[in-house]
Structure 1
Amino acid sequence: MPSDWFPTSLPPPGFPLSCSETPCDDNQQLLFAKGLTGDFAAEQTIASDGMGNFGNYHLSLWESASILLEIMDNNLDMLGQDALLDVFYDQASGHLVGQVQDARASMHHIDQLSPFTLQVLKDYAVERSNLLEEIEALDQLWADTEADSLLDLRLLLFEALSGLNSELMDIWESLDVLSLSRADSSDLAYINLSDLPQNYQWTEKHSSELYLKAIPFENENWTDADTDLLITEAGHCPAVFGRHVHRARSLYYHKFGYWPETAACKEIDKSVDLPGNPEKRTAISEFPFEISIRPNPVSNQLFISIRSEMVVEPSIRLLDAYGRALPGFAKANQVNNEFVLDVSSLSDGIYLLEINLPGQIAHIEKIVILH
């Protein structure tokens, strides 16, 4: 296929949005196919800011596939021509495969991922379906299959999309990382599960909770001890709780509960330290609090309520689905620790609300704006 068939830019202003709505001659149809694939590539290209690209690549993949299918549905007549269909398919599938390869390559730098990036990765990984193995095998399928109609192609693409979740979960599990929040000690950063003793086991207690069972801390100056370490998935309770492990193998932990009805995190139990030398331990200085966000989905005003035994001065940011902060967002009408954000000017879609409290406690909530 001639290389100059591939698009290099979006169609010029005033170009027909669909050849099925506006009659096009052969040359216009070819230009339109190039414009479609250029638009597709531009729409799902995300700005790379270091490791942030990896943390959100799966969201971009899913949106890429959705845009691809939507464009196909909107241009049935034009895409019914075999030559133009080949151009469109080659460009679209090639771009998706490239994104997956970039994401895999960036996994070599997993130790550089921020807790926020890991949270976003985990949150979306359990909600998206998988594309990787199927989309990489689709080139061979395409070569071996005679697609007599657009419906045949759409079926192939749909099958390629339908399995995405298992691959994303495999990637997440391969990381084997618990994100740890930094406190006053530089010893607090990340801990790999492979660094822990081998006789631990995971048990699922709740849809938003995982417990790490029976961790023995064996040391010539230590006695064995069993404990429950609460690991809460992103988007629920703050990552800072339950993840403080000191290099000297002392462990502090809290137990927290999650109430889906109010999207609030509240301390329900607290345990003290394990046996050992108290001078070697790093303390937890956070405090109990509750955060409620309403309504969600939201169309105009978003109300954020923070209840705590202490007076808190939170920092609130609104991020787009790729983790980029939206400028010009200010909190207003603060009354009794309640804040109001006016989101009426934003487009419909998925956003992330980040609330930072004293002690670097971060609460991240997925917000859906729907006008």
Structure 2
Amino acid sequence: MRMAASLKVLTFLVPCAFLVPVIITLAPDLNQVRHSEALQNIKTVFVSIFLEAVPFLLMGVFLSSLMQWFVSEEMVRRLTPKHPVGGVLAAGLLGIIFPICECGMIPVVRRLMHKGMPVYIAITFILSGPVVNPIVFTATLLAFPNHPEITIARMGLAFAVASAVGGLVYLFVKRNPLRGPKIAAAEVKTHPGFKMALSPDHDSHSHTHAHDHSHGISDGHHHAHPKNWRSFFIHAGDEFVDMSKYLVIGALITACIQTFVSRSDLIALGNGPAASYVFMMGFAYVLSLCSTSDAFVASAFSHTFALGPLISFLVLGPMLDFKSTLMLLSTFRTRFVIGLSLAIIALVFAGSWVVNLWLWG
């Protein structure tokens, strides 16, 4: 084991050694780049996105670890509505009780799915939770004090899109979409609402981290020892490292796009009825803002675009942006994420168009 670890270190250090003379040669140019305005802007935007998202990611990670300790498969099955329609509607409103940002939603839902939550309910919660909650409701009202209809339309459309996508997943997804060992989805016959549930022992084998159960983390059939807080923080740390690397990559790429693509050029692309929707939805995807602050960015475009494109920005962003796409890909299979993304984009586009016709007559 030690020999293998040493070989890995050498494999990394040897190429780095060849980079030293190159770096020394380019040192003056690199120093100019380091102090350039573009790089300073990238650093500023990156840090702002990262610091904005980390508290919510930590919240989700700790909540996920608490669920690993205290929530068993039996509890999840007992609390899940048996009828799929009831399950989708309940999941769509669950964000009112658990107001978690999209950055912290993935680890929580992944834990619930390992505990036995059906995938269609989990996806509905992922999509609606970051929007349909009191924090985002209040922030949107503050951002658009003269247009309360935007807040109502945002909440209503987000709930409708999330519920519709959940229904589509229930109807068409027959296999377990989680990444991990290729274990077929088990049909839980004692619970008709479980169109898609994991096997009871799946939690201890398919988790992306090979946790040692000797630490006392629950395997779903019994609770961890309540005094073993070390295992709790080990689990939370593993979850945080697994999710944060995708957040860092997404925040960095988003910062580069915001730096090198001017907003005026982007607005020029949105000159047109349909193009304005496409622009605002693409803008939401690229900016990767937190759902608690994106309304204030959208309000800056209130004199440029109609209400429909603004609502498409406010609904799509929390459901699907660059960093959340990477997190989804780390949890679900690629084909599932692609289909999910296409369904979200199509429904948000059509829904915001209808809402705009309704608001503007």
TM category, shorter: under 0.3
Q: Which has the higher strand share?
A: 1
Q: Which has the higher helix share?
A: 2
Normalising by structure 1, what TM-score? 0.22
Q: Which has the higher contact order (CA 8 A, sep 6+)?
A: 2
Name the larger-Rg structure.
Answer: 1
